[in-house]
Chains A and B, each alone.
Chain A
Amino acid sequence: MGLQRVKPHAEIAEVWPRDGRIRLVGRIHGHSGEGAWTLVLTRRAHSDQRLRYDAHVKGDRFEGELPIADLTTADHAAVEEWDIHLSDGETELRAGRRLDDIRGKKKIFVYPEQHTGNIGVRPYYTVKDNLSLECRTGGAA
């Protein structure tokens, strides 16, 4: 807050888990929005495993989405997390929500769970206010 500098990141404004997709809207903070950007999902337990989707960037505003069906994997553990970044090929910006006043986002910004196959997918804020996806087999709430 105030004079404290916030590191470059992809500041999330809206998360829309609807109709089998997750759409993200936000602003690129602390970095130029020029170039071609992709939304990158990294499987936390297997960081070499990545999913990429084109993001639309205009000025500093970005928008991107993914179908949750892509999150099914052959070796799915009971719980899998995917971390979300925005990348222009050189810089990877972590997606998160760090510019507002709300503390304890994990419990306040709660999004609906969607199902694909036998997994339930829910976007959530980590304790560091970064945005990730949680996939649970059985989709237990």
Chain B
Amino acid sequence: MSGRRPHPRVRYLLLHAYGRGGTIRTVMNQANSLVAAGWDVEIVSAVRRRDDIQFPLDPRVTVSTIVDLREAAYTPPSGLADRWRDRRRGRLLDAPPRYIPAGEFGYRYFNRYVEDRLIAYMRALTDGVLVTTRPALNFLAALHATNGVVRVAQEHMNHGTHKRDVQQRIRETYPRFDAVAVLTERDRDEYEELLPGTRVVRIPNAVHSLDQVPARPQSKIAVAAGRLFPQKGFDMLIPAWAKLVETFPDWQLRIYGSGEKKAELRILIEEHHLYNHVFLMGHTDRLDDELAKASFYVLSSRFEGLPMVMIEAMSHALPVVSFDCPTGPADVLTHGIDGLLVPPEDPDALADAMARLMADEKLRADMGVAAVLTAASYGPDAVHPRWEALFTDLHGQRHATAGAAKGQHA
């Protein structure tokens, strides 16, 4: 503990705090835990396109926005100077960003206007801890949050997933951070090699709760969840299920999520005549309830950061069948104990592993119990104190070595 010194203010910078992606959800869980532990926490949204926050957030966490893109937030210009400013804004909104490489998956959300406003915001910060949550925001913080704020870069995707230009910029800029936080052991190894001398910490994301309704092993429902997008590999899961229908005609596969590949997946279901067995369930606000109805979880992703819904499923005592994709499943699962890991992008192996679980209720029950125990180390109480310790430590170091601090003079 760091004596009587009060906790520093922690600011999380998200691209869009009003969205519903996994990173957003995770950051809100962290914010809720920190604020409950007495920290002063702010969530800063680079842009805002919605009125409401989509995940439970403690009201003591303050939320602010850098660029409000909602139509209602736009006031038409009145005076001459106003009109000039408005034209300039329009021009900058159309101009490409200067510091974000085109290979950043969020590139399309950035432009010169958003970038300028973010830089101005970062330059004004002189205290506390700034946590940036994706490569584009990390690059900007590395270069511009240089007036004394303690900087932490979070990486929510595995390093191998980044495009070459992003990897290059990571090597160039991440050494300026006080700490780089990654989700898995494999990523910690990779980043340590990539960034010699930089503090790299592995802190997994936490599930929102461990107090969950256990699933029933006798249920004949398998569940998968994620955006209907190539990354999630549902195009491999559906043909895999097709091989099981004859042997297990009374089983259902329920896939939760929405996304741009829905029509293609529907065609795949029709081609394999699976319309009585595989269901695209759409988005649900009650995933916990839906997970509890199943008896195992399937992860068919081509890649992941750390698949949180899988761990949430495990907290419901669901065993997992998963591709051993980079990264996450192998960090979490012990093959044969709490789930079955099969070679990545191999639908036949996935089908065989699912068949093994579907044929054996006792196996599902045993592995489900083991899954709950595994999930326990991803509970908020196990994970969030590690963030507190990191922030306290970094902040303490900064004040012990004032002046020579890393955040000054980038």
Contacts and interface: CB of A to CB of B under 8 A. Distances in A.
B279 A108 contact: yes
B153 to A, nearest CB: 40
Contacts of A16: 273, 276
Contact of A104 (B266, B276, B282): B282
B266, B276, B281, B293: most-surrounded residue (chain A CB, <10 A): B276
Contacts of B275: 15, 109-112
Contacts of A108: 279-282
Contacts of A107: 282
Contacts of A110: 266, 275, 280
A60 interface: no
Contact of A101 (B270, B273, B280, B293): B293
Contacts of A15: 275-276
A18 interface: yes
Interface string B248-267: 00000000000000000010
A112 B268 CA distance: 11
Given A108-B279, A109-B279, A18 B273 contact: yes
Contacts of A104: 282
Nearest to B249: A14
A109 B269 CA distance: 11
A13 B273 CA distance: 15
A66 to B, nearest CB: 17
Nearest to A13: B276
Contacts of A111: 275
Interface in B297-331: none
Nearest to A111: B275
A16 B270 CA distance: 11
A16 B274 CA distance: 10
Contacts of B276: 13-16
Interface string A1-24: 000000000000111101000000
B221 to A, nearest CB: 9
Interface string A43-82: 0000000000000000000000000000000000000000
A109 B275 CA distance: 7
Contacts of A13: 276
Contacts of B280: 108, 110
Contacts of A109: 275, 279
Interface in A96-138: 101-102, 104, 107-112
A13 B282 CA distance: 21
Contact of A112 (B270, B279, B281, B293): B270
Given A13-B276, A15-B275, A107-B282, 6 more contacts: A18-B273, A101-B293, A108-B282, A109-B275, A110-B280, A112-B270
Nearest 9 A/B pairs, CB to CB: A14-B276, A112-B270, A111-B275, A108-B279, A108-B281, A107-B282, A110-B266, A101-B293, A15-B276
